[in-house]
């Protein structure tokens, strides 16, 4: 990570015209600091041409030192996946509902970002999962996931049946509505609603959480992040694999879903004083008096 940040990208939630004013305030702020501003092409549609360059997300590698993302957690998930190969650090400004990943408020945005530009921030690395689908030994699909990979039945099918192997060793044959493979970041998303554990993002772990298993003894299990996970569907009528509810792929008989840790992490920058436990208290309403 290069300091000071000389070129900063501003990326806003798509199809949200109301982000224009906060974005323009950031453009002005960064420009007064002598920082070159880049805006992604879809965000630029909401702005009148100002003192910034327009660039596609996949062209930012090696040309941008920092990306500031305005939106909710869904926006951050999308941007993090796209910029993952480039190692660009990310700052999140919350304009959504929960804000597990976008922890800076619009009210304090400018003073907080000024402090961070001066080096007052903490660095947090979070893992991605790489999912590949192999058909007759040939890769037919691959995608990154920041939150989770989900094997799930379709709308028209009943329970699905699948086998799980870890590092080549048979774990179980399970009948369920599906299986969630979650990162620590994703442990507070779909996996949490399915009864999975909350995992601190600094831990290198992966959670396997069954969705409505037929047998109650089938419980969530946590494994090391270096594990190679293989999911082999035994019944494939209307079965699909989802990556962060972003990329989807319909499975066929004898397909193998292989999930492993991606080689590069996401680099999130937080203001000084950031606390994951405080985020849990606030977002999960643990600080409410009963």
107 is catalytic: no
Burial annotation 67-83 (CB, 10 A radius, 16+ → b, else e): bbbbbbbbbbbbbbbbb
Q: What is the pLDDT of residue 100?
A: 87
* pLDDT tier for residue 95 given thresholds of 50, 70 and 90: confident
pLDDT surpassing 70 at residue 289: no
Q: What is the pLDDT of residue 132?
A: 98
> 155 or 150: which carries more pLDDT confidence?
150
**What is the torsion angle, in degrees rounded to the nearest 10, for the CA atoms of residue 47, residue 10, residue 25 and residue 71?**
90
Lowest mean pLDDT among 92-96, 193-197, 228-232, 278-282: 92-96
Lowest mean pLDDT among 100-109, 150-159, 180-189, 192-201: 150-159
Q: What is the pLDDT of residue 264?
A: 96
* pLDDT tier for residue 83 given thresholds of 50, 70 and 90: very high
Best-predicted range by mean pLDDT among 130-134, 214-218, 244-248, 251-255?
130-134
Q: What is the pLDDT of residue 253?
A: 87
pLDDT, the chain, mean:
92
The percentage of the chain sitting over the pLDDT mark of 90, rounded to a whole number, equals: 79
pLDDT surpassing 60 at residue 290: no
Q: How much is the average pLDDT of 70-78? A: 93
Q: What is the pLDDT of residue 98?
A: 66
* pLDDT tier for residue 247 given thresholds of 50, 70 and 90: very high
pLDDT digits (tens, 9 = 90+) for 5-51: 999 999 999 888 888 999 999 999 999 999 999 999 999 988 877 77
Q: What is the pLDDT of residue 156?
A: 65
Q: How much is the average pLDDT of 187-207? A: 96
pLDDT surpassing 90 at residue 237: no
Domains recognised in the chain with CATH numbers: 7-127+265-283 (3.40.50.10330), 129-261 (2.60.200.30)
Q: How much is the average pLDDT of 258-287? A: 93
Lowest mean pLDDT among 57-61, 251-255, 269-273, 284-288: 284-288
Rg (CA), the chain: 20
Q: What is the pLDDT of residue 172?
A: 96
Best-predicted range by mean pLDDT among 2-6, 101-105, 209-213?
209-213
Q: Which of 73, 103, 244, 255 is catalytic?
A: 73
pLDDT surpassing 80 at residue 3: no
């Amino acid at each position: 990570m290069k300091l000071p940040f000389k070129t900063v990208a501003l990326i806003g939630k798509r199809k949200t015209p109301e982000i224009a004013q906060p974005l323009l305030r950031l453009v002005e702020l960064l420009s007064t600091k002598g920082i070159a501003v880049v805006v992604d092409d879809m965000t630029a549609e909401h702005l009148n041409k100002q003192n910034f360059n327009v660039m596609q997300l996949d062209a930012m590698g090696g040309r941008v030192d920092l990306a500031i993302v305005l939106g909710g957690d869904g926006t951050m998930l999308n941007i993090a996946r796209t910029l993952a190969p480039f190692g660009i650090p990310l700052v999140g400004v919350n304009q959504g509902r929960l804000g597990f990943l976008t922890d800076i408020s619009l009210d304090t945005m400018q003073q907080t970002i000024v402090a961070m530009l001066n080096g007052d921030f903490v660095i947090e690395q979070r893992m991605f999962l790489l999912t590949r689908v192999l058909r007759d030994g040939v890769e037919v699909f691959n995608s990154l996931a920041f939150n989770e990979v989900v094997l799930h039945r379709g709308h028209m099918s009943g329970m699905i049946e699948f086998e799980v192997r870890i590092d080549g060793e048979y774990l179980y044959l399970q009948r369920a509505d599906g299986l969630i493979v979650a990162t620590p970041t994703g442990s507070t998303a779909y996996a949490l609603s399915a009864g999975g554990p909350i995992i601190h993002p600094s831990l290198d772990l992966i959670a396997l959480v069954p969705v409505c298993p037929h047998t109650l003894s089938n419980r969530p299990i946590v494994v090391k992040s270096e594990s190679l996970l293989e999911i082999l569907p035994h019944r494939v009528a209307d079965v699909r694999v989802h990556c962060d509810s972003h990329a989807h792929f319909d499975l066929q008989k004898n397909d193998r879903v292989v999930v492993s840790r991606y080689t590069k992490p996401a680099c999130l920058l937080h203001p000084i004083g950031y606390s994951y436990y405080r985020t849990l208290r606030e977002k999960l309403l643990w600080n409410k008096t009963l």
